[in-house]
Amino acid sequence: MKAFTYQRADTTAHAAAATAKPGAKIIAGGTNLLDLMKLQVETPSQLIDINHLPLDKVEETSEGGLRIGALVRNSDLAADPRVRQRYGVLSRALLAGASAQLRNKATTGGNLLQRTRCYYFYDITKPCNKRSPGAGCAALEGFNRIHAILGTSEQCIATHPSDMAVAMRALDAIVETVDRKGDTRTIPIAEFHRLPGDTPEIETSLKPGEIITAVALPPPPRGVQVYRKVRDRASYAFALVSVAAIVDSARGRIRSARLAFGGLAHKPWRSPQAEQELVNAAVGTSTFNAAANAVLDGARGFGDNDFKIPLTRRTLHSVLAETTGT
Amino acid sequence: MDEQESDTELGKIEVTRRTVIETGATALLLTTLPRAALAAGPVEDNEPPPPPVRVDLRINGHLYSLTLDPRTTVLDALREHLALTGSKKGCDHGQCGACTVLIEGRRVNSCLTLAVMHDGQSITTIEGLAAGENLHPVQTAFVERDGFQCGYCTSGQICSAIGMLAESRQGMPSYVTEDLMRAEAELTDVEIRERMSGNVCRCAAYPNIVAAIKQAAGIPT
């Protein structure tokens, strides 16, 4: 691990100002950052510890939703009775992620900002455009079983590893931030994470000197909420494919549907076209097929991950059957 | 409690086969790596160490004041600075659970958190569970149910199980809990396996680990 100086942030403004300095990094749970620092993938010269900031509450909003402080631990958020009752898809997604020990440390803000688990990003002896822009991508021609099939670029085929963020994408969560001047901003989660394009090193729309303070959830949409995760082990593994679904149906007809996918892209993936195929459609295989075709429009495998295309189709079928009670 | 303190004072440690092996390994490391590397992994030879930090930790009921390289993880503080080697370093990347300890009563991977981040907090390790000669009920159950073979993951398994049982009593659901609204999920084998999935056992003693946890929780096996 490279040497760094350690500082505790006393205020949110102090933390935001500190992140504007080159080499400075915020540390909260540290479960991803310290892992990467041990491998020298991350080499901050200064760590700003924000664990003592008052950002650890889950509060009701006036609109009937919830505001989740950036430092609320994944385990506490999953267990919150309001989340379990109204946002079951989020509780289940959180519980699908990592292990209990890691969830006890990992935070809401940190989960959104975690880095890809691409093997070549983690291996500093291999070229990676995300780690060293312009170096090339070892995954394109390498072992790419866990990699993306949607929204990829010639520069990067990494996936975003979060389960929590996939559920938040289905729930249309809003990321709240503050910058070093004290100005606040809200960012819809759809615009928070970016596709790799030519700049895979830029993963979010956060600016230097801007930190996450909370994630706001709008009131829960009507419908059955499901989070389904398909992975290599029954537990404690990243998603190959995951689906967060909120589907409202009655008497064999779908009224509304929201679908977000993990393990497929550089960001939690949402398909408005697939949702459109479902609205006002009859529950059944042909409707589910149309939705799957829409999600996978433009999907491209890179060899080892070709299986993700049929796996996504089958997982979506299963989730739609479950949410519509068929 | 005084007994434990004498165990952890460096001057009073009884020489065992383990301490001989550790001393030998440490001497070897010292000939090839700078001091900071012991606590923080590989470093550049010409890199100056960062300014040390003062950290107060209450470990197993005793207060320790340490001066540490800020890179020192809780695990390395325990093992390298306090000779509390019951917590094991398996992967050092939060993937195996062998380093699990309880910080402020919650189970965490001590390899993935810095000691300086826990200044003023309380830590319970495997060394702090027994009351004198009386083992903690989870320790007793692991012995009686043969919940280990090589034993390397065991201290992490036991600390994790204690944290897990507390979480369960507080109503924490898991990924396999069918009804998220149920106040306290029944600890079936499937529930225990899911809740303990952060602790890997290379000997695959899992059936006996599950049995031990059920025994400690008072669930018929």
Q: Tokens at residue A308, please?
A: 């993700």
Q: Tell me, yes or no, if A100 comes closer than 8 A to chain B by beta carbon.
A: yes
- Tallying the residues shown for chain B, one arrives at 221
At residue B47 the predicted structure's pLDDT band, cuts being 50, 70 and 90, is confident
Q: What is the pLDDT of residues B132-155, one digit of tens each?
A: 999 999 999 999 999 999 999 999
A220 beta partners? none
Q: What is the pLDDT of residues A77-100, one digit of tens each?
A: 999 999 999 999 999 999 999 999
Instruction: Check CB contact under 8 Å for A235 and B194.
Output: yes
Maximum pairwise Cα distance, chain A: 63
Predicted local confidence at residue A137, as pLDDT: 98
At residue B48 the predicted structure's pLDDT band, cuts being 50, 70 and 90, is confident
How far is residue B143's CA from residue B216's CA, in Å, rounded to a whole number? 11
Residue B15 clears pLDDT 60, i.e. is over it: no
Signed CA dihedral, A85, A90, A92, A95: sign only: negative
Predicted local confidence at residue B45, as pLDDT: 56
Signed CA dihedral, A150, A231, A98, A321: sign only: positive
In three-state secondary structure terms, B106 is: strand
Predicted local confidence at residue B209, as pLDDT: 98
Quote the strand ranges of chain A, DSSP E. 5-8, 24-27, 46-49, 58-60, 66-69, 174-179, 184-188, 210-217, 224-230, 241-250, 253-262, 269-270
pLDDT per position in chain A (326 positions), as tens? 999 999 999 999 999 999 999 999 999 999 999 999 999 999 999 999 999 999 999 999 999 999 999 999 999 999 999 999 999 999 999 999 999 999 999 999 999 999 999 999 999 999 999 999 999 999 999 999 999 999 999 999 999 999 999 999 999 999 999 999 999 999 999 999 999 999 999 999 999 999 999 999 999 999 999 999 999 999 999 999 999 999 999 999 999 999 999 999 999 999 999 999 999 999 999 999 999 999 999 999 999 999 999 999 999 999 999 999 99
Q: Which residues contact B2 (CB under 8 A, 6 or more apart)?
A: none
At residue B1 the predicted structure's pLDDT band, cuts being 50, 70 and 90, is very low
In three-state secondary structure terms, A279 is: coil
Instruction: Check CB contact under 8 Å for B117 and A49.
Output: yes
Q: Which of A159, A145, A149, A166 is nearest to A243 (CA)?
A: A166
Angle between helices B154-169 and B137-144 (to 10 degrees): 120
- Taking CA atoms, A213 is separated from A8, A103, A178, A183, in Å, by 16, 19, 7, 12
Cα torsion B103, B106, B110, B115 to 10°: value is: -30
Q: Determine the residue type at A281.
A: A
Angle between helices A308-323 and A285-295 (to 10 degrees): 140
Q: Which of A115, A125, A140, A122 is nearest to A32 (CA)?
A: A115
At residue B44 the predicted structure's pLDDT band, cuts being 50, 70 and 90, is low
Angle between helices B206-216 and B154-169 (to 10 degrees): 40
Residue B24 clears pLDDT 80, i.e. is over it: no
Sheet strand arrangement including A184-188: A58-60, A66-69, A210-217, A174-179, A184-188
CA distance A55 to chain B (A): 17
Q: Tokens at residue A102, please?
A: 């890691």
β-strand pairing of B53-59 with B122-124: parallel
Residue B2 clears pLDDT 50, i.e. is over it: no
Predicted local confidence at residue A11, as pLDDT: 94
Predicted local confidence at residue B28, as pLDDT: 42
CA distance A154 to chain B (A): 30
How far is residue A59's CA from residue A46's CA, in Å, rounded to a whole number? 32
Residue B14 clears pLDDT 70, i.e. is over it: no
Instruction: Check CB contact under 8 Å for B47 and A3.
Output: yes
Instruction: Check CB contact under 8 Å for A100 and B171.
Output: no
CA distance A94 to chain B (A): 8
β-strand pairing of A46-49 with A5-8: parallel
Which chain A residues contact residue B167 at CB under 8 A?
75, 100
Query: Smallest Cβ distance to A31: which of B92, B112, B194?
Result: B112
At residue B12 the predicted structure's pLDDT band, cuts being 50, 70 and 90, is very low
The residue that leads in pLDDT, B17 or A170, is A170
Q: Tokens at residue B6, please?
A: 């004498």
Average pLDDT score, chain B: 86
Q: What is the pLDDT of residues B98-132, one digit of tens each?
A: 999 999 999 999 999 999 999 999 999 999 999 99
A224 beta partners? A247
Which chain A residues contact residue B106 at CB under 8 A?
75, 104
Q: What is the pTM of this model?
A: 0.92
How far is residue A168's CA from residue A192's CA, in Å, rounded to a whole number? 11
